[in-house]
Structure 1
């Protein structure tokens, strides 16, 4: 791991505080790589969701595709966490990105040849999900080693502009291609974006230490997984943050499979409006993260964490009440902003509190519960959409998360400590010891 002075040597230019982390060249390479890869991920989601719905007229199959993209985080996340702690994170990241380039390139070719079916797309989504999990875990575990500690939230906020805000760029590129050319052109775009991301990742350099785990083999492979879960269990703040992100993703972010039916039935619109709404949600994420990236005090971040938790539920509730495309676009900005800022702050809090030896496994568990919650939510909500209209689902899940956050604030001192002044927290700890 490089020292603070070595990290400071990476930056040679004065840049605004909002973009402070981009002054460090290896983080900058990581950020650009993530921007390209996540734009590819969102472009894939736009094309795959609409194509499956067009071929099958089934929201349940759309939910299955989203489920297939996210469930690998649950199935393979613990193993990926150990690999990220044990092996070269940059090489793993590059491998994942180039594999996804091949995956989406093959899907484009099958679409052109006319061999595309919903289940071909779902299978492709499953393998895309495996590599996305590996990419995300490598990225999160690598970040703290590329920048000084005091810029970590800035780095996660800037990552948020692309991990969620790539919905704007990806949808902006995918929507016109989907409407005027066809889904095969969007899949080809995904291939190009992933290829660019893989090339960019080749330039990242880290001094990752892997000696702590020793050589992994069949006999001791699962021991590091158990140790990772035990570490989280013994660290209450980590446990709370991971639980919060699980319910946030389950109740406020698992709406993707509902959007095609919501737009067709409640807004009376078509694929162009679908892509545009995704674009506005992504734009909200960009604006939200950029407007808060310069907040550097722990208390300020803690207050913002609670505000965006509540806003995530309220904004989804309001989206369910919209009945025109214009209103949906306006509310979509708030949905994207609140969700992206919450996820960025939550990630920075998790990475700050995780020891580097366990960082890959902690980041993996965090991603497992986040992606697993969205996978389950999209699958269940999509499957039940014939009985529970999308707008009713948005109203009920958004409202439930608001209530849950308020209840946790009332009963959890750990959650309240996130926004208390440092002196107050220390005084309480001393009183407790006495």
Structure 2
């Protein structure tokens, strides 16, 4: 499988959040198995292990079935593309839904949908109705369920265990998936070799049932919403705007796209590697996929030590180079042992890079938008995987598997060089909790939540010697305002009083203005304090909140005003 569908925030992310609350990491790491004392987490963990195993068995069956019913290398590679493409297309909508609705219900919906599709795939395969394009349709629909499931799942771990136990819970979830990845493909290959791909599809359908039962019995805490939910379009727009105005997340999405494009070659062409390079069957394919999973387990256990000894950029750049070396080794391997060695390296690099990307996104987004930020990161990653699967499949078709692997290795080296220009930021311990200082002001005009547009002006008195510092600070202020939803932001200077500066922006409605101010984080407060420190006038600066109103049209105005003496004298109907 191209990525962990049940991925959780990394332990590094949670340590940063705990540090912001004064909780030391050593206090949070009493035992890695402490989360299993929570009944709901224990049940979800074991059910997820079964579900992950079934998904990996299904992936083996689908890939090998395509290699059996179609001689086209392009169609074989499209099995991976059909699974990853929905994540690119629908993750943003799924993230907006996860940030605004009950995550438990979203998870249940996604799991029921994937169960239904898996049953349909098994039935069609049983009756011999599967064609290459029908198989791609089923894998695409399963990918749609994964796209809906991912953001809600990533955001729900904090609802299952106490905050101090979240780091250990993250580690256990990662271990569960990688255990399944280590043994699932090999067992899946054995099942396909012994009973055919139909058996793999049936096993996957049954694997959803334990997780469905656990989620149906789970009663997570209810979160009280003080503001109405955003509509889907507004929520998606807010997520896009936040990422577009966040340099750190923009850099992560670019690097993740390039990594997904180049690194997917190991999984997309793996059936062809097993069949054409190593000269094996479905069991060989399962063993090779298990080697990739074993490398991923090793990478997960090495990640904490490597992050302590290397910068974020150095670690990611190393994974690009090491993955390229692993792919090159696979290209020249003619025995299963060399191929397994190369895949172990690729698996370790896969986990190290993707977990680092995930951690950076988590540390760069507050809770109100974290689902959408992760969704856009996944869109970039899975979009690169989908495009890469197609590109490397086409390359294998026209130039052969070996040259396609070498071309992907060159792409990964280019991705490493991109780090010289687009460096990943360090994993900083930013406090992205809401600032919670702002209170909704009392107004003298009757307004509804949807009333608007709302125009806001803030007056600053800036001394001439502070103008340069003020302009520099206001550039960052502009980015934060626009990121959180402000529109048409401008900075004005009075022509008669050069010390008077006016910040102006608007919000489409009153409720959006309130929402924007409630999104200010503790980390954003530093910019606000710098601006206030440069202000030398009344403290705090004078704020005007106005609502835009249209003037009445002339005919309406004439009909509504009181007639004057001149009107009566000029009235042609007046008696002479």
- Superposition TM-score, scaled by structure 1 size: 0.83
User: Do structure 1's residue 411 and structure 2's residue 421 form an aligned pair?
Assistant: yes
Give the distance between the partners of 1:149 and 1:301, measured in 2 at CA: 25
Give the distance between the partners of 1:396 and 1:35, measured in 2 at CA: 35
User: Do structure 1's residue 332 and structure 2's residue 343 form an aligned pair?
Assistant: yes
Give the distance between the partners of 2:95 and 2:45, measured in 1 at CA: 21
Structure 2 vs 1, CA of residues 124 and 309 (structure 1 numbering), >3 Å: closer, same or farther? same
RCO higher in 1 or 2 (8 Å CA, sep ≥ 6)? 1
Question: Residue in 2 aligned with 1:251?
Answer: 262
Secondary structure in structure 1 of the residue aligned to 2:156: helix
Which of these two proteins has the greater Rg computed from alpha carbons? 2
User: Do structure 1's residue 318 and structure 2's residue 329 form an aligned pair?
Assistant: yes
Displacement after TM superposition at 1:305 (Å): 4.1
Displacement after TM superposition at 1:255 (Å): 3.5
Q: Deviations over 1:388-428 (max 9, x none)?
A: 222222222223223322341x334x52x427999xxxxxx
Give the distance between the partners of 2:220 and 2:357, measured in 1 at CA: 24
Deviates further, 220-229 or 142-151: 142-151
Question: Residue in 2 aligned with 1:277?
Answer: 288
Deviates further, 173-182 or 315-324: 315-324
Deviates further, 143-152 or 234-243: 143-152
Question: Residue in 1 aligned with 2:99?
Answer: 85
Displacement after TM superposition at 1:168 (Å): 2.2
Structure 2 vs 1, CA of residues 285 and 374 (structure 1 numbering), >3 Å: closer, same or farther? same
Structure 1: unaligned runs, 5 residues or longer: 423-431
Query: Which of the residues 115, 121, 124 maps onto 2:129?
Result: 115
* 2:29–2:168 contact (8 Å) kept in structure 1: no
User: Do structure 1's residue 399 and structure 2's residue 403 form an aligned pair?
Assistant: no
**If each structure's helix is expressed as a fraction of its own residues, which one has the higher value?**
1
Displacement after TM superposition at 1:375 (Å): 1.3
Give the distance between the partners of 1:139 and 1:398, measured in 2 at CA: 33
Question: Residue in 2 aligned with 1:263?
Answer: 274
* 2:51–2:207 contact (8 Å) kept in structure 1: yes
Secondary structure in structure 2 of the residue aligned to 1:15: coil
Give the distance between the partners of 1:285 and 1:210, measured in 2 at CA: 39
Deviates further, 245-254 or 160-169: 160-169
Question: Residue in 1 aligned with 2:60?
Answer: 46
Deviates further, 382-391 or 199-208: 199-208
Give the distance between the partners of 1:210 and 1:127, measured in 2 at CA: 33
Counting matched residue pairs gives 412
Query: Aligned-residue CA RMSD in angstroms?
Result: 3.4
User: Do structure 1's residue 190 and structure 2's residue 201 form an aligned pair?
Assistant: no
Q: Deviations over 1:250-283 (max 9, x none)?
A: 1112443322222222222222211110111112
Deviates further, 228-237 or 311-320: 311-320
Deviates further, 155-164 or 242-251: 155-164
Structure 2 vs 1, CA of residues 373 and 290 (structure 1 numbering), >3 Å: closer, same or farther? same
Q: Deviations over 1:181-215 (max 9, x none)?
A: 11111011101212222223345554464737724
Give the distance between the partners of 1:269 and 1:351, measured in 2 at CA: 41
Structure 2 vs 1, CA of residues 205 and 322 (structure 1 numbering), >3 Å: closer, same or farther? farther
Give the distance between the partners of 1:312 and 1:177, measured in 2 at CA: 29
Displacement after TM superposition at 1:367 (Å): 1.4
Secondary structure in structure 2 of the residue aligned to 1:411: coil
Question: Residue in 2 aligned with 1:425?
Answer: none
Query: Which of the residues 346, 352, 364 maps onto 1:353?
Result: 364
User: Do structure 1's residue 140 and structure 2's residue 154 form an aligned pair?
Assistant: yes
Structure 2: unaligned runs, 5 residues or longer: 1-16, 431-471, 474-529, 531-576
User: Do structure 1's residue 341 and structure 2's residue 352 form an aligned pair?
Assistant: yes
Structure 2 vs 1, CA of residues 29 and 357 (structure 1 numbering), >3 Å: closer, same or farther? farther
**If each structure's strand is expressed as a fraction of its own residues, which one has the higher value?**
2
* 2:320–2:413 contact (8 Å) kept in structure 1: yes
- Superposition TM-score, scaled by structure 2 size: 0.64
Structure 2 vs 1, CA of residues 38 and 208 (structure 1 numbering), >3 Å: closer, same or farther? farther
Displacement after TM superposition at 1:67 (Å): 1.9
Give the distance between the partners of 1:289 and 1:154, measured in 2 at CA: 13
Secondary structure in structure 2 of the residue aligned to 1:116: coil
* 1:158–1:289 contact (8 Å) kept in structure 2: no
Question: Residue in 2 aligned with 1:428?
Answer: none
Displacement after TM superposition at 1:158 (Å): 4.4
Question: Residue in 2 aligned with 1:429?
Answer: none
Question: Residue in 1 aligned with 2:144?
Answer: 130
